[in-house]
Chains A and B, each alone.
Chain A
Amino acid sequence: MTGENADRIFVDRALRRLPRSAPSARLEAALMAGYDAWNIERKKGAWTAVKAGVRGFSETIWPGTPLWVPASALAAALLVGAGLGAALPVVTAAEQSGFSLEQPGRFTLFASDMAPEEEL
């Protein structure tokens, strides 16, 4: 028998000794009360539907976490984006390409390090 297999058998035996937790009557009642409360909210109308939609969306992208976790992640991403946008220098289209509509580009046959003909 391999070591891994022996470990698996040993652990399975050990875990069988653990008592299984049965939900108490109090817990079952609390779970049904939770359902009833949700059902009442559901019937209340559009605002509830919007909140449930947000919560449902949150569940889809990050299941099992409170709403503030994905909201904080989004807010942090927005802050970083805005911070970078504010910190970086503004570069105009003209600076970026050397051309603009107001000042069309000029070309010369001479490279910048060569003297133009009339100066010779």
Chain B
Amino acid sequence: MHDPDADDVAKAGQGDRAAAARLIGRHAPKLLTVARRMLGTQTEAEDAVQEVFLRLWTHAARWQPGKAKFETWLYRVMLNQCYDRLRRRPAASLEAAEDVADGAALPDAGLDEGKLGQEIGRALEDLPERQKAAILLCHFRELGNIEAAETMGISVEALESLLARGRRSLRSRLEHLKGFIGDG
């Protein structure tokens, strides 16, 4: 299996700045999107992405192609970063976030695209972290179930269960917006 990142990782590990820039250009946008949706704030997502890349440079020098796909490792590090940050948050701030995220209180009429995006984002952030991670990996990283399961370090069956529960829960949270989103 050819790993499209293997050459650049090896070169970046030897000090090739252009290879590092290519890796950043290729992976930072999706990593940032996933982190943003996992963590809920842009600032914290940017911090997490920076931390992931610092780990990448450290790891790049001893990267062994063929052992594991680079991107799988990269997203696993990203998820662990997000889990760590979510667990470090005080419980009070999570409860406050849940209160804000109660979308049913918002009026449906006159909902513009920006507010709709906010509503969907909040409902997503409210999901349990592993359900959220499964949905984000499959949607934003456009992964198949096998690769997403490998990234999360779980079986395909466990991933499918997380996806099913997460989607059902998200749909019920966004039920009041189905006129704007379109019914499944």
Contacts and interface: CB of A to CB of B under 8 A. Distances in A.
Interface in A1-26: 1, 3-15, 17-24
A18 B181 contact: no
Interface residues of B, number: 57
Contacts of A31: 24, 28, 49-50, 53
B32 interface: yes
Contacts of A7: 164, 167-168, 170-171, 184
A27 B182 contact: no
A35 B53 contact: yes
Interface string A20-49: 111110011011101110110011000000
Contacts of A20: 29, 33, 140
B171 A10 contact: yes
B127 to A, nearest CB: 10
B29 A22 contact: yes
B32 A18 contact: no
A64 B76 contact: yes
B3 interface: no
B12 interface: yes
Majority secondary structure of chain A interface residues (helix, strand, loop or mixed): helix
A18 B135 CA distance: 13
A43 B13 CA distance: 11
A55 B21 contact: no
Given A21-B33, A65-B84, A8 B167 contact: yes
Contacts of A21: 29, 32-33, 36, 42, 45
Contacts of A6: 171, 183-184
Contacts of B58: 38, 52, 55-56, 59
Interface string A67-86: 00000000000000000000
A23 B49 contact: yes
A15 B45 contact: no
B43 to A, nearest CB: 10
A107 B75 CA distance: 68
Interface string B153-184: 00000000001101110110010011001111
Contact of A15 (B17, B54, B120, B178): B120
Contacts of B117: 17-19
18 contacts: A8-B184, A11-B184, A14-B120, A14-B177, A17-B181, A21-B45, A23-B29, A27-B32, A31-B24, A32-B17, A32-B24, A34-B57, A35-B12, A39-B57, A52-B61, A56-B61, A59-B58, A65-B80
Given A6-B183, A27-B46, A59-B77, 10 more contacts: A7-B184, A14-B177, A14-B181, A15-B135, A17-B113, A21-B33, A21-B36, A28-B28, A53-B62, A59-B58
